Amino acid sequence: MVQVVSTVERQGQTQVWHSMEIGEAIALLKTSSDEGLNGFEVKERVNKYGANELTGKKGQPWWLKFLLQFNQPLLIILLCAGLVKALSGSLVNAGVIWGVTTTNAIIGFIQESKAEGAIAALAQAITTETTVIRDGQKVRIPSRELVPGDLVFLISGDKVPADLRLIQVKNFQVDESGLTGESVAVEKNLNTLHPDTPIGDRKNMAYAGGFVTFGQGTGIVVATGNETETGKISQLMQQHSHLTTPLTRKFDKFSKNWLRIVLALATLTFVVGLSTRDLKDALEAAVTLTVSAIPEGLPAVVTVTLAIGVSRMAKRNAIIRKLPAVETLGSATVICSDKTGTLTENQMTVQAIYASGHQYTLTGIGYIPEGEILRDERPINLNSDKGLQECLLAGVLCNDSQLECKDGRWNVLGDPTEGALIASAEKVGFNQESISRQMPRLDTIPFESDYQYMATLNQTSKGKIIYVKGSAEAILKRCNLLLNSEGNSRPIDCVETLHQTNIEREVNIMARQGLRVLALAKKAVPDNQTTVDHVDIEKGLVFLGLQGMIDPPRESAIKAVKACQDAGIQVKMITGDHAVTAQASHDAWVLIRMVRYWHLQVRN
């Protein structure tokens, strides 16, 4: 992964924002953490820094792009031959030669123009609005109007509009998978970091293109437009050299060699002709030999063939910007693919549940509330397992996110992990909206990294109950009972040979399968209690179950990988996960497991 450091130049020194104290960053940007910038400062900075938008390299004019289509040795000699024909009076022959070369150029020009137009349309379609504090007032403005020093306020569901140094956070989590490749949202804080800290670990920064999944935060804009991390990557992508492929290299080599041979023969013909004929006849014979020896149809045939390949790729939603690039697909022996959002759905999905002493598996993918819960590969009767009911119910109630279906696609408004819990419950008919009305929330303890759990106090038909969800380590040490399938509490058993509980063993099993594991528990409290505090859940919790989730593979990715392997192409997975994360989750092994999982879905 390319690592680019967010910087600003000042008095010849490079400033690294994530290693600065908040006060130092505010002073350097000459702004206020309360009032933000005033109107006069905004105008000055707009003139200095420009709009907050990605700008590409200035494109070539259309006429130059068209002329560059003729920049091939064979076409150049054909143009010259046509010119000689025209000067010698053979206008029909000249027109035919020029017609072939012009047709070739037009095909290439039109195809490349379509591809560039599609790319430009994608860039223009990305527009957002953001909330800023200016002159002490919150205002909503287009993100392109942001300038360094602006005070930006973000809440769950917002898109990060520029690179920010965070100055205030409250349970603030940002999905930065587009930049870092990490599929799990990152919880942010305000701690000052070492200058060499990589992008994925800069928890006091929020970068342009990120998506706020939870909480709220305030940050100062430190970079806009092309100076953001996303902008710098965009600039790197534009620093490409002239495109050459195996076909174009062979074509150029053949053209140059054949050109030398033809010119040598034409020169010889002209010299010999002068000894037996006049100048006009000798020149005519040399030109005729040149034109007849050059395969004028070859450039057109190659271009049309490539254009057909590009057209077929376009029907599959693949944009090929340069015609010769499509040829390299046929020469590929290794394909390197990103993991998050490419091979995977970028949607967390619960795949395993452990409740009331039993293991369950779930079908379905993503946030789509469709699928079944299986036990021993058979659908279960939910009414027969009260412990499983409570486990699913806790995942819905102890939750700050929502699922929505927009344009036929299910998305989560909030944390992806919480969205997975809602989807797993809705697969058996637990509707979040209905349950929330029946069991209203009275109080909550938001998730904090220091505690590794979240808790809610709900009014139920059986009295007031605290529901808790969090990491297995944080929850299990607070539990001394578990709920069985009849809905009764009993002591947690211990596997003596392993010196661990059955639950801890199940946690390890899920973890070895690459699943992210959440534990759920509950505790009944007196009817006169109206709030919940950390002291209330220090002990005495009843364990309800575990839910293990993973970012599943795309269904189309399974077929694509198999097709590549059948064609003799190796597929390599590229992930932006940390080395520790990759080692712990056994990413390569997990990918194989996910492939097998999909094959199982197909068989079923």
The pLDDT assigned to 56 comes to 61
Q: What is the mean pLDDT of residues 406-417?
A: 82
Measured CA angle at 505 (ends 501, 509), to 5 deg: 165
338 catalytic, yes or no?
yes
**Which residues, in sequence order, are bridge partners of residue 205?**
165
Residue 82 burial (CB count, 10 A): 24
**Are 213 and 164 within 8 A, CB to CB?**
no
Residue 315 burial (CB count, 10 A): 7
Indicate the pTM of the whole model.
Answer: 0.58
- Of 34, 196, 252, 338, catalytic: 338
pLDDT at residue 15 tops 50: yes
The pLDDT assigned to 381 comes to 83
Half-sphere exposure of residue 132, counting CA atoms within 13 Å on the CB side? 29
Cβ burial of 94 (10 Å; 0-12, 13-18, 19+) is: buried
pLDDT tens readout for residues 298-351: 666 776 777 777 777 777 767 676 667 777 777 788 888 877 667 777 788 899
pLDDT tens readout for residues 441-500: 999 998 877 788 999 999 999 899 999 999 999 999 999 899 988 888 888 765 444 445
Pairing of strands 479-483, 463-470: unpaired
pLDDT tens readout for residues 147-184: 999 999 998 888 999 999 999 998 788 988 778 877 67
Name the DSSP letter for residue 58.
P
Cα distance between residue 227 and residue 14, in whole Å: 13
DSSP string, 532-593: --GGGGSS-EEEEEEEEEE-PBPHHHHHHHHHHHHTT-EEEEE--S-HHHHHHHTHHHHHHH
The pLDDT assigned to 297 comes to 62
Whole-number average pLDDT of the chain: 80
Sequence-ordered list of residues with C-beta below 8 angstroms from that of 112, at least 6 positions apart, any chain: 65, 321, 322, 323
Cα distance between residue 490 and residue 469, in whole Å: 20
The pLDDT assigned to 516 comes to 86
pLDDT tens readout for residues 189-206: 999 999 999 888 899 999
Sequence-ordered list of residues with C-beta below 8 angstroms from that of 442, at least 6 positions apart, any chain: 457, 458, 459, 464, 530, 531, 532
Pairing of strands 453-460, 463-470: antiparallel
Q: Which of 442, 438, 403, 398 is nearest to 423 (CA)?
A: 403
Pairing of strands 541-550, 349-355: antiparallel
**Are 492 and 543 within 8 A, CB to CB?**
yes
Cα distance between residue 296 and residue 310, in whole Å: 22
Sequence-ordered list of residues with C-beta below 8 angstroms from that of 397, at least 6 positions apart, any chain: 435, 436, 439, 441, 456, 458, 467
pLDDT tens readout for residues 252-285: 788 788 878 888 888 888 888 888 878 878 877 8
The pLDDT assigned to 335 comes to 87
Structure confidence at residue 131 as a pLDDT band (50, 70, 90): very high
**Are 216 and 156 within 8 A, CB to CB?**
yes
Pairing of strands 479-483, 541-550: parallel
The pLDDT assigned to 218 comes to 94
Structure confidence at residue 573 as a pLDDT band (50, 70, 90): confident
The pLDDT assigned to 1 comes to 33
Structure confidence at residue 521 as a pLDDT band (50, 70, 90): very high
Name the DSSP letter for residue 414.
S
Name the DSSP letter for residue 1.
-
Taking the CA atoms of 497, 501, 503 and 508 in sequence, report the sign of the dihedral they define. Answer: negative
The pLDDT assigned to 53 comes to 83
Structure confidence at residue 578 as a pLDDT band (50, 70, 90): very low
Cα distance between residue 86 and residue 106, in whole Å: 22
